[in-house]
Amino acid sequence: MQDGDGTVISPDILKPLVIRSLRRSNVRKKIAEYLFEISPSGSYTSEIAYNVHTTPTNVIGAIRGMNFRYREDESLIGLNIVEQISGGKNIKLYKLTDFGKEMLESMKVRR
C-alpha cells in the first residue's frame, strides 16, 4: 500500500492502524464485517447502509473518507481493507480485499 506521498507502507505497519481504525468506528467495523459475510461478492452503498443500519452518507464516509468526520487515511479504502469495483454504468461496488479478509479473521481469533 502507498500513502499520500507515494511511500510504500508495509502490511506489518498497517495492521495496528487497521485495528485502531476499526475499534474507533462502529460504522467502519460493521461495514467491514458485512462485506466479510458476503465475500467474495461486493455490494453497493445503499445496500450496505441498509444492512448495517446507517445512512448511505455514513457508508461513503467510512469507505472513502469525508472531510473531518471520516479521515481519508483512516477510510476502509485508504487502509486497503475495501476496494471499489465498477458494477456497470455509474454503479460503484465495494468488496473486501484479501488483506481485509486476513485482518478480520485475525481480529475474530483474538476475541
DSSP 80-95: TSEEEEE-STT-EEEE
CA-to-CA distance for 99 and 81, rounded, in angstroms?
6
**Contact, 75 vs 43, CB < 8 A?**
no
Rounded to the nearest angstrom, the gap between the alpha carbon of residue 80 and the centroid of all alpha carbons in its chain is: 7
Between residues 60 and 106, the one the model is more confident about: 60
In this predicted model, which residue has the larger pLDDT, 88 or 5?
Answer: 88
- pLDDT tens digits, residue range 41-56? 999 999 999 999 999 9
pLDDT digits (tens, 9 = 90+) for 18-77: 888 888 889 999 999 999 999 899 999 999 999 999 999 999 999 998 877 778 888 899
CB burial string 58-76: b at 16+ within 10 A, e below = bbbbbbbbeeeebeeebbb
What the chain holds in terms of domains, given with CATH numbers, is 11-101 (1.10.10.10)
Query: In the 8-state DSSP scheme, what is residue 73?
Result: G
pTM: 0.84
Q: Is 83 helix (H, G, I), strand (E, B) or coil?
A: strand
**45 vs 15: which has the higher pLDDT:** 45
